Amino acid sequence: MAREYDIAKASGLCTACERELAVEEEFVVALFDTAEGFRREDFCKPCWEGRPEEAAKAFSIWQSRVPRPDEPKKPVVNNNVLIEFFEKLDGQDVPARINFRFVLALMLMRKKLLIYDGSGEEEGHEIWTMHFRKEQSPVKVIRPELDEEQIAEVGSQLGALFEVET
């Protein structure tokens, strides 16, 4: 399957000053929505503090930390960032965004943050109705026609973006 987005992993460098980020250094990840897709940029904290215009343009922002080489790989993004990203993708009609949102829903279900309530059909699409564990408001998710390989590919792209295992 051709990649729908080529999302960069953490580069280890600050986008602004090009300094290598030190082990255990905290940094800011900014995700920008461009015509070509999502673009990830990493910033050391001093460079990010001087960029309020970038913060206003970012689709999503979170903090991360450079892991030690001997540190076991673990998620470095919290659940709130995943939920915020999921919610910002609501209502988007670009197929790759619909795919991202669906796979994020699967991830949030696996984390027991999103509960599946049922499915139906709207405008020719299968729609899953869900709710967040601590809320009862319904959340609707389009279920795209993805096979297991495509779901794994989208999951891999999300994992690269958020530095999480999917």
Range of the domain at 112: 79-162
4 pLDDT above the threshold of 70: no
Determine how many CB atoms are found less than 10 A away from the CB of residue 139: 18
Q: Give domain status of residue 132, yes or no.
A: yes
Higher pLDDT, 11 or 69: 69
> Which two structure tokens, joined as six digits, stand for 149?
């390989």
Angle between helices 79-88 and 95-110 (to 10 degrees): 150
Q: Which of 99, 75, 95, 88 is nearest to 32 (CA)?
A: 88
Q: Which residues lie below 8 Å from residue 67, measured CB to CB, with a gap of 6+?
A: 23, 24, 73, 76
Residue 9: what pLDDT? Answer: 64
Q: Would residue 11 count as lying in a domain?
A: no
pLDDT, average across residues 91-95: 86
Please check the confidence at residue 29 and state whether its pLDDT lies above 50. Answer: yes
> How many distinct structural domains can be found in the chain?
1
Identify the CA nearest to 114 among candidates 98, 127, 101, 133.
Answer: 133
Domain-located, residue 148: yes
Of 99, 116, 112, 109, which Cα lies nearest the Cα of 156?
99
42 in a structural domain:
no
Instruction: With respect to residue 99, please indicate whether it lies within any of the assigned structural domains.
Output: yes
* Distance separating alpha carbons of residues 84 and 72, to the nearest angstrom: 26
In a domain, 66, yes or no: no
Q: Is the pLDDT of residue 36 over 60?
A: yes
Q: What mean pLDDT is reported for the chain?
A: 83
If you average pLDDT over residues 150-155, what whole number do you get? 80
Give domain status of residue 158, yes or no: yes
d(CA 128, CA 48): 38
Q: What global pTM score does this model have? A: 0.65
Residue 60 belongs to some domain of the structure: no
Percent of the chain whose pLDDT exceeds 90: 30
More confident residue, 153 or 112: 112
